[in-house]
Amino acid sequence: MKVALVQMDIAWESPGKNRETEERLMFSAEKSDIYVLPEMWNTGVTTEPMGVAEPENGETLMWMQRMADKLDAAVAGSVAVKASDGSYRNRLYFVKPSETVQSSIFNFQFYDKHHLFSYGGETEHYTPGNEYVTVEWRGVRFHLSICYDLRFPLWLRNRDNYDVLICVASWPQVRMQAWKVLLAARAIENQCYVLGVNRIGKDPYCEYSGGTCVVDPFGFATVAPDNEASVLTQTLDLKRLKSFREKFPVLKEMDSI
């Protein structure tokens, strides 16, 4: 399983420009099985979604489906969405290639961010999701999470039902030490790979330096260059992961929750 993690500078509230940037970066990368984009990659993380949130089947989701079809790969990343019930969600889409030749047919699952970032005002306008979401793709089980979720190990606990934890984020430079430590901790305690995808650049609130990385089940990370738009690609060794779990059965001995 080859993964591609896309680290980018997000143009503030400019979905069209960000889609163009993402497309260029994705097609410049090594052919992969999945491409993972940052949190709210199409607009930047805004706590006032009324002007930028898309409908549930909006243009950005259609674009993600087109990219999945063109690349014959899954595409994952979060966007601000106005749900059919009128609530706003920070929604992580996991989009797979269409199951038919008609690329307009959506083939996706999604996770709505559970731990909203109250410190940054996210709770004032967004509604949290309450579903623990795991997606299977090409024989690999991916668990979905967004940014602040990373601080809550019980919510992300591997119930022996996933192999890879995805965390898409807009994690500020000022708290990068926490980002690095928490990613490693989640990988070690859950005996899994962790894909941490962060942005670079600035928005009206914070500065971001990246730190996008693939963390292996032993806590060792392969990291993208700081402050550079880039795509980090790596092949996950699932046979090694399986062997490690069999020899050192942490997941089978975990506390019940």
Active site residues: 39, 113, 147
Residue 57 has φ and ψ, to the nearest 5°, of: -110, 45
Count CB neighbours of 90 within 10 A.
29
Percent composition of the chain: helix, strand, coil (DSSP 3-state, to 5)? 30, 30, 45
Helix (H) or strand (E) holding 88: strand 88-95
Per the rule left: phi > 0, alpha: psi between -120 and 50, beta: everything else, 69 is alpha
Helix/strand number for the chain, H first, E second: 4, 15
Structure tokens at 198: 């962060």
Instruction: List C-alpha distances in Å: 111 to 42, 47, 56, 131, 165.
Output: 17, 18, 12, 7, 13
Residue-level length of the chain? 257
How far is Cα of residue 246 from the mean position of the Cα atoms in its chain? 28
Residue 56 has φ and ψ, to the nearest 5°, of: -60, -30
Q: What are the residue ranges of helices labelled H in the chain?
A: 15-28, 59-71, 176-190, 238-247
Helix (H) or strand (E) holding 34: strand 34-36
